[in-house]
A and B are shown apart, each in its own frame.
Chain A
Amino acid sequence: DQQVKQNSPSLSVQEGRISILNCDYTNSMFDYFLWYKKYPAEGPTFLISISSIKDKNEDGRFTVFLNKSAKHLSLHIVPSQPGDSAVYFCAASAGSRLTFGEGTQLTVNP
């Protein structure tokens, strides 16, 4: 049972444009959500998070939106840069363990 799903395995955008990565979840007990970025042969790097009591959190070029009724969250990156090319994982927490999606490979073309 995949409780956190990222339905797009890959996304390609032009430099300077907006990247939108999506994530859906099924467990209504999740109360904290995170996005991680991962380069090959490295560990995930924390990007941004949001509590279930909020619907938006912004940090520089990164904004996370949470729609609790739809059990959906998204990560917006604007403007996108070639260095943003990586695999992006969303994760959800209901306690201390994180449940991860399968990841979306983002490619930002110069």
Chain B
Amino acid sequence: NAGVMQNPRHLVRRRGQEARLRCSPMKGHSHVYWYRQLPEEGLKFMVYLQKENIIDESGMPKERFSAEFPKEGPSILRIQQVVRGDSAAYFCASSPATSTDTQYFGPGTRLTVL
């Protein structure tokens, strides 16, 4: 039984390019969360989604960042016109609808902006 899957594991982009990070939740989980970990810091909440709905995006930067969780396929975190400060590890977590308290994390995508 696969856990939370994220791809790519490593992503290198030049300033101004777009980054797309993908997350497939654990089987049976319908809730997806995105977190970002900057160097030497803890994880910071970005966004919480259910299928086709954004439930809480209070942690998302107001510009350049967007997230979706379509009816079919993985959740996507999209960063447009990346800047060096976007370099971080981005983690996706999922939980079942019956128990949103405990979240299970994927291996993360390490984004490096040159």
Contact = CB atoms under 8 A, between A and B. Distances in A.
Contacts of B102: 34, 46, 49
A34 B108 CA distance: 19
Nearest to A99: B45
A43 B107 contact: yes
Interface in A64-100: 89, 91, 93, 95-100
A100 B101 contact: no
A58 to B, nearest CB: 17
Nearest to A33: B101
Nearest to B41: A102
Q: How large is the interface on B (under 10, 10 to 19, 20 to 34, 35 or more residues)?
A: 20 to 34
Contacts, number: 60
Contact of B105 (A32, A41, A45): A45
B4 interface: yes
Interface of A: 4, 32, 34, 36, 41-46, 49, 89, 91, 93, 95-103
Contacts of B93: 98
Taking chain B's interface residues, is the majority helix, strand, or loop, or is none over half, making it mixed? strand
A95 B108 CA distance: 23
A43 B56 contact: no
Nearest to A6: B42
A96 B58 CA distance: 12
Interface string B97-109: 0001111111110
Contacts of A34: 101-102
A91 B107 CA distance: 18
